[in-house]
Structure 1
Amino acid sequence: MYPESAPAPGSAAELAIDRAHLRCWLLSLGLRCTGPIEITRIGAGNSNLTFLISDETGRRWVLRRPPLGELLASAHDVVREARVVDALHDTDVPVPRVLGVGAQDTVPLVLLEYIEGQVIENVTIARTLTPHQRRATGLAAARALARIHAVDLTAVGLTDLAGPHPYAARQLRRWSRQWEQSKTRDLPQVDQLTERLRAAVPDQRESTLVHGDFHLRNLITARADGSITAVLDWELCTLGDPLADLGSLLAYWPEPGEPAIAGFEMTMLPGFPSRQEIVDEYLSHTDRDPAALSFWHALGLWKLAIIAEGVRRRTLDNPDNATHAGAPSTEQIDHLVHLADVVATTTGL
């Protein structure tokens, strides 16, 4: 389900999961589990922790749990995430099967099926692909996003996933509060951007399922044709304006000649479609009006900077939350804030 890359550090994080308890849980779910199990931290994500679980015969599963340490209210809710993934299982959105939801002591645990494929989590992996494969994956990502936004909320039972307030206002309120609670220093430009975004909120014309953190590193792809075999990490999923997801994807999609975004340099390699091509592919499958997209692109970068600051805070509080990529630096976070300011300025926000 996740790339077979170097495991992330954090033996203490692994030991926080009791192997005997986990093995008993697997058996109670009716899963075959032979011999002792191995637990390995995987993935490049810095929020909910993800582990590869395997037995001595090679059977594999994926485990999700919240990060270590003190958490912000409503953040890192793996049980809510499991509810969304389970609801989507019989839709056109590719997701892993939820095998079980449980707990160790007071820590919630979610067990998911292991899905074969590849996650393009860094430049090294992206370089093993041909330009044709890179382009196919980028365009497939746009189509997968369109499928997410086409989900019938009533049919899957997710109409109550979010409150009635407009999505932009909810996002600005949530992430500005997150900034205040997790920032490691004062950064006036973030506060200035928040006010500019509040003054430019577009009217919300529809409400769909919104992934909330849609990018290449949250997708499992088929190497042969670049198709998307699973969309991962639904932690920030909610109901809202679908263009928010597209703007967020653009925020994670630097182009050749632009300053790199740490962890997402892969989209600058030859073959990956441009941001405009991503937009065109998405719109060709949705017929949506892109007039407000620049607002959501700027908000996506602003939000990405705040998420990175939260990751930095959690890693400083407990180093075992870090992945092999490490925590974002203040320079990287400042760079994201600068990019958000540039997008906001050049589009007249």
Structure 2
Amino acid sequence: MQAAEPKRYIGEVSSVREGSRFDEARLATYLNDMIPGFGGSMIVKQFEGGQSNPTFLLETRSGKYVLRRKPEGVLLKSAHAVDREFRIIKALSVAGGIPVPQALVLCEDDSIIGSMFYVMRFVPGRAFWNCKMPDVSREDRAAIYDSANETLARLHSIDHNQIGLLDYGRPGNYFSRQISRWSTQYEASKSEDIAEMDKLIAWLPGQVAADDQRSCIAHGDFSFHNLLIHPTEPRVVAVLDWELSTVGHPMGDLMYHTMEWYRPQGVDARGTLNGADLHALGIPSFEQYVERYCERTGFRIEGNIDFYKAYNLFRVAAILQGVAQRASQGNAASAHADTVTKLIKPLAKAAWDFALAGGAV
């Protein structure tokens, strides 16, 4: 299936959608009490992107803020953890080294807007939906990719215990835990049988490498659409959307991030670098990009590369199945949820193709 031409940039805002509205006056009163300097009239708009947690732009005389909230309605267990997002953004902001927005307030009182939410400072920047980054010069594109590589390497080099995240996740057995989690959530939300997903659920657990004990802060969705690039300079100024973050294995993040290179055509609206003229784009090859990451971290890439590729495509398919369930219930965070759910089967097939390449029968 050929996906529609993706937008070049994301971050557009529009009026708050019908299913996402809340009492704006009550919110303004609450934030006046909680955020120093917050005041005056407040204009609320909703960001177009985001498949999981509805995200809003708050414009006031004191500046711009971003609100991320848990969706209302019946939700999958452990999903939409905005409190975890707030915690890690705050920890990284205090520690320094990783560009994140300033976390301001977490509200666990559902009576304010109907669900848990947090507010952070707005960071101006560009977020690229299309990984080929049209309208960017070859030199800037190369610099943006290198900045993303450096940012991920720095994140994986942080000792999470030293920044107050000792209990943020369980060290070791990352892939085993993740495969179990996404298999369970897929089964809980699926609307039809997909043979490739069933085969992946059976095959993946037996392929986990012996070095699954390595641990670091794993972002969980380290993609260009979650990286804010400076408005005019080719560098990362903020890493967004930490909902899936945990203590995990660096190969999980790295191989998810590098999906841009190996993702087959037509399985993601963001496009792919697969088959692109990378030299002309100024983008390093998959091997060059991974090598630069290893130089920065001192890590070695071990294990079955095709397993990592199959796992990440499977994981995306499972996540989108959750989006499909919420869309059917009318509480999906994105206006385009119905479109992306059509990609579940192609993703599952692509994941199984890598599993076959990795030794599955």
For normalisation by structure 2, the TM-score amounts to: 0.87
Name 2:329's counterpart in structure 1: 317
- Are 1:184 and 2:191 matched, yes or no? yes
**C-alpha displacement at 1:234, in angstroms?**
0.7
Which among 243, 251, 259 is matched to residue 251 of structure 2? 243
Q: Residue 295 of structure 1 aligns to a residue in which SS? A: helix
Establish whether residue 72 from structure 1 lines up as the match of residue 76 from structure 2.
Answer: yes
Unaligned runs of 5+ in 2: 1-8
**Letter matched to residue 101 of structure 1:** L
Q: How does 1:154-303 map to 2 (within 5 A)?
A: 154-164=161-171, 166-203=173-210, 204-254=212-262, 258-265=264-271, 267=273, 270-292=281-303, 293-303=305-315
Q: Counterpart of 1:49? A: 54
2:157 equivalent to 1:145: no
Shift of 1:297: 2.1
Structure 2 residue 139 is the aligned partner of structure 1 residue 132 = yes
Name 1:28's counterpart in structure 2.
33
Q: Measured at CA, do residues 327 and 273 of structure 1 come closer, stay the same or move farther in structure 2, by a change above 3 Å?
A: farther
Q: CA offsets per residue over residues 233-292 of structure 1, 9 Å max, x none?
A: 11111112111101111224457xx51442321655833433223212211211212122
SS in 1 for 2:258: helix
Deviation at 1:223, TM superposition (A): 4.3
Bigger shift: residues 329-338 or 299-308: 329-338
2:313 maps to amino acid: L
For residues 13 and 330 of structure 1, the distance between their equivalents in structure 2, rounded to whole angstroms, comes to: 19
Give 1:101's aligned residue.
106
| Conserved 8 A contact 1:10-1:322 | no
Tell me the distance in 2 between the aligned counterparts of 1:45 and 1:273.
28
- 2:43 aligns with 38
Residue 152 (structure 1) shift: 1.3
Partners of 1:250 and 1:297 within 8 A in 2:
no
Contact kept, 8 Å, 2:142 with 2:282, in 1: the verdict is yes
Q: Secondary structure at the match of 1:340?
A: helix
Partners of 2:167 and 2:82 in 1: CA distance: 17
Aligned-partner Cα distance in 2 for 1:137–1:294: 27
The match for 1:119 is 127
Q: Contact between 2:228 and 2:238, CA under 8 Å: does it hold in 1? A: yes
Q: Does the 8 Å contact 1:63/1:109 carry over to 2?
A: yes
Cα-to-partner distance string for 1:175-199 (whole Å, 9 max, x where unaligned): 0000011112111210101221111
Give the deviation of 1:149 after TM superposition. Answer: 0.7
Counterpart residue number, 1:11: 17
3-state SS of the aligned residue for 1:53? Answer: strand
Q: In 1, are the aligned partners of 2:173 and 2:213 still within 8 Å (CA)?
A: no
Name the CA shift for 1:253/1:52 in 2 (closer, same or farther; >3 Å): farther
Quick check: 1:86 aligned with 2:86? no
8 Å Cα contact 1:10-1:321 kept in structure 2: no
Structure 1 residue 220: deviation in Å?
0.5
1:151 CA drift (Å): 1.0
Looking at structure 2, the residues matched to 348 and 291 of structure 1 have their Cα atoms a distance apart, in angstroms, of 16
Aligned length: 341
Deviations 1:201-247 (A, max 9, x none): 10124111111111111110124332111111111111121111011
CA distance in 1, matches of 2:306, 2:151: 21
Name the SS of the counterpart of 1:348 in structure 2.
coil
Q: Is the 8 A contact 2:10 2:225 kept in 1?
A: no
Same amino acid, percent of matched pairs: 30
Structure 1 gap ranges (5+): none
Following the alignment from structure 1 to structure 2, what is the Cα–Cα distance between the partners of residues 198 and 128?
42
Q: 1:265 to 1:153 in 2, by over 3 A?
A: same
Other structure's SS at 1:126 match: coil
**Structure 1 counterpart SS, 2:72:** coil
Q: Does 1:327 align with 2:334?
A: no
1:110 aligns with one of 118, 122, 137: 118
SS state at 2:104 partner: strand
Q: What is the aligned partner in structure 1 of residue 3 from structure 2? A: none
| 59-68 or 260-269, larger mean C-alpha shift | 260-269
Does the CA contact (< 8 Å) of 1:9 and 1:324 recur in 2? no
Contact 2:16–2:44, Cα closer than 8 Å, also in 1: no
